């Protein structure tokens, strides 16, 4: 149940909802009751899965916009689009960043970034982020 809760927490943190999974992950690491590799795996899987949802929403944005309205603020979209156009797909390594990360994954879908390329870059960035979080908490 712990790992499923972490997956859900990380998933929600990567979607349109304002949510943070690091606090829950930190609590689990400090409890010492869970396998650290399992925590890393489920947090990463959940967060990447949420980003995949953002990519899908971006990919089908034109059809969705007509039905459900705009998903991100104009300011968030402008920042993400500017960053994505300036640095390209490599910005997806930073999809874990607060505020701009979720719109970046959405913009990647809008710009039709190939899914496998998207998945590899987001997985690397988010996987490294959770590894660093777990490592730093274990040092405390």
Structural domain spans, the chain = 2-139
The string of pLDDT tens digits covering residues 27-37 is: 999 999 999 99
Cα distance between residue 126 and residue 51, in whole Å? 10
Q: Is the pLDDT of residue 108 over 70?
A: yes
Instruction: With a cut of 70, say whether residue 83 has pLDDT above it.
Output: yes
pLDDT band at 76 (very low <50, low <70, confident <90, very high): confident
Burial 79-93, CB ≥16 within 10 A → b, else e: bbbebbeeeebebbb
- The pTM score is 0.86
63: its two tokens: 């059809």
Report the alpha-carbon distance of residue 137 to residue 30 in Å, rounded: 7
Looking at residue 62, what is its pLDDT? Answer: 60
Give, rounded to a whole angstrom, the gap between the first and last alpha carbons of the chain. Answer: 26
| pLDDT above 90 (res 67) | no
């Amino acid at each position: 149940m712990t790992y499923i809760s972490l997956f859900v927490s990380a998933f929600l943190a990567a979607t349109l909802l304002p949510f943070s999974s690091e606090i829950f992950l930190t609590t689990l690491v400090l409890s010492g009751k869970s396998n650290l590799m399992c925590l890393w795996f489920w947090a990463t899987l959940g967060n990447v899965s949420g980003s995949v949802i953002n990519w899908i929403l971006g990919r089908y944005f034109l059809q969705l916009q007509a039905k459900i309205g705009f998903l991100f603020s104009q300011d968030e979209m402008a920042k993400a689009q500017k960053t994505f156009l300036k640095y390209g797909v490599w910005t997806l390594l930073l999809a874990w960043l607060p505020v701009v990360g979720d719109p970046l994954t959405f913009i990647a879908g809008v710009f039709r970034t190939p899914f496998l390329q998207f998945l590899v870059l987001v997985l690397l960035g988010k996987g490294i982020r959770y590894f660093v979080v777990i490592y730093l908490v274990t040092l405390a």
